[in-house]
Structure 1
């Protein structure tokens, strides 16, 4: 199925009216999406001043994801303090599949790069995301979400790497660096947890609590939810936060988790963030958007240059016998990320010799 080219905001408003009894549209606001987006989206206001969101899938795969996400959020809504989108009505599409309508959730997206250390929104995000990861995996199984154990997920990442190499657009230095990390089995010993499949700032809704403090009020974007690596949900967060803010986030996250996070969680989150550039590039190629594909390829080349400089700085530090403190200062100056493991260790109270780091864990 493919979404008709002329399905604009007025067509979406008409679909919303058909999906929900009593929804009489008086205004509609189109949400602009790119060619790689899976959905046409619009905000609709009705005669009773209620606001609604309509999502119309563009492909059969997107339609299936929308149906599954709706089943999951219906189950999750009763188990989270944060709001999630719960579908109130469906409408069949001429080309197949269904569009979904749900109430507009209040709140504003969080700007991850503006988060600061200390009590407040950064800690609230850590606690809120931990509550998602604490959910019973059986809920996701009931909704039909996919589930991966640690080794299966590592294998999938290696397959992604092979596909990335086949494009010819990824620098060989990055490919080798990623392969080394993926073949380090010790980094991939974790217990799979319920995840959103990746969390970006526009998926996190922020509002004020009763004392007037900013807190996380809701989570959007459940179409990629799965039982897998918690690192996927941390990828954008660890990339955006500075060292002190990351410490705040990880401390709140670790203290709220029902099981202590593994020692390599942040390492894998960094890797997931880097490899997200490849997935974006390949999605652009599949959509025929070669300009976007080249933009992503340029970002990969810049990343290769940055990581090469970081590795050189680390090698020089070791060769000159610098102290740990000197190496840390050099790493921070060059953007090195080795200290992320230390941030997680401080948050969890874990030492380098912690036995949990060498015991294989995982869930299918």
Structure 2
């Protein structure tokens, strides 16, 4: 185990040949990856190796997202975004090196409606949603209409219903929402796609960085707001009031309703994960959460009921809500990262266009080298002018015995 960070540091120098390593430390933020932080001459870099095929697909999506965020779009964001620097082979998969964003991670459930972070959160989300659609269109990212998203929600509900484990009251509530044309009459925007407190980096009560861009796409802005319901309906409404000051949000009421629906459908995805993996512990956990949603009881059901019964906030109501918010001088405590229900987010990036890293046969040395070089260049071609020959990018495959076994969720 002690040798893992040093092994990753060696891989980083292969992926980024000009890198001079001054130090390395373990990085255990995500069990889906073996990772380490490498201290370079000017900045810290993050090197990660996916442990599973699912993590490899997620990493591929993130590379596409980071490549789409070229210098122009990045300049429009009020926070830093990682920059992909290179990759190299690591056994049957690859090690990817990006810039490392410093900062603390907070627990979403610690948020309060008058917290200092409410305004930075609203500003960050609004800035992502204001990015031009050309970011996705030119970057080969998913482009979905409101009806596409409505259909995805309907299919997820149908799959959950087929388990016969969703309470009838909850199921009917979901169906009423997807059947309401008014709720799905909205203009899609650029979305982060998997936003929650784990993806935000905080310093001095400001959001200084956002990570986890594997699901960047054109989609429903409500999907980037759903995680706030972990802290309660009042927190979501407080963010929405400030969000509406930064950009035209259309109907706040329907935006709130879809956010509440997405929040509840995360439990449906958790249930499906349990049934498809035959994990009875996960199934029991999901069923327990669904039972607490019956009749609008419990935090998820209450958020949904509150959201669907409210009238849209007028401009004067938004201003009044902001005027009533007291100034807060105490600081939020730093806590461990919020653990999401499932890595496979609800409206995740399409993976049809992502090809898994091909295994290299002994007889295809030359062809494999060319492929590896192409993969290494593509995620950062727009931002990194230096090109490196394929044979300089590769290193000896890492011994699988050196990698720790993945932890079970």
TM bracket, shorter-chain basis: 0.7 to 0.9
Q: Deviations over 1:88-119 (max 9, x none)?
A: 222244435x4321121121113222223337
| Structure 1 residues 196 and 343, CA gap change in structure 2 (3 angstroms) | farther
> 1:215 aligns to what?
206
Q: Which runs of 5+ in 1 are unaligned?
A: 1-6, 209-213, 312-330, 352-364
| Structure 1 residues 338 and 101, CA gap change in structure 2 (3 angstroms) | same
46, 52, 61: which is aligned to 2:57?
A: 61
Q: CA deviation at 1:264?
A: 0.6
8 A Cα contact 1:250 1:343, kept in partner = no
| Structure 1 residues 348 and 145, CA gap change in structure 2 (3 angstroms) | farther
Matches within 5 A, 1:152-301: 152-208=148-204, 214-243=205-234, 245-283=235-273, 288=277, 290=279, 294-295=281-282, 297-301=283-287
| Structure 1 residues 305 and 279, CA gap change in structure 2 (3 angstroms) | closer
- Is residue 138 of structure 2 the alignment partner of residue 131 of structure 1? no
| Structure 1 residues 188 and 46, CA gap change in structure 2 (3 angstroms) | same
TM-score, normalisation: structure 1: 0.74
Distance (whole Å) between structure 1 residues aligned to residue 101 and residue 12 of structure 2: 16
Distance (whole Å) between structure 2 residues aligned to residue 344 and residue 173 of structure 1: 23
Distance (whole Å) between structure 2 residues aligned to residue 348 and residue 266 of structure 1: 16
8 A Cα contact 1:70 1:86, kept in partner = yes
Q: CA deviation at 1:134?
A: 0.9
> 1:315 aligns to what?
none
> 2:44 aligns to what?
51
Q: Deviations over 1:340-359 (max 9, x none)?
A: 357783365589xxxxxxxx
TM-score, normalisation: structure 2: 0.67
Q: Deviations over 1:228-248 (max 9, x none)?
A: 1111111111332352x3332
Q: Deviations over 1:240-292 (max 9, x none)?
A: 2352x333211111110145455311111111011112223434555x4725x
Distance (whole Å) between structure 2 residues aligned to residue 173 and residue 339 of structure 1: 16
> 1:360 aligns to what?
none
80, 88, 92: which is aligned to 2:85?
A: 88
| Structure 1 residues 10 and 299, CA gap change in structure 2 (3 angstroms) | same
| Structure 1 residues 337 and 65, CA gap change in structure 2 (3 angstroms) | closer
8 A Cα contact 1:107 1:207, kept in partner = yes
Distance (whole Å) between structure 2 residues aligned to residue 260 and residue 102 of structure 1: 36
DSSP-derived class of the 2:35 partner: strand
Task: Give the alignment's Cα RMSD to 1 decimal.
Answer: 3.1
Q: Deviations over 1:101-158 (max 9, x none)?
A: 1121121113222223337211211111111111111112111110111111101111
Q: Which runs of 5+ in 2 are unaligned?
A: 319-409
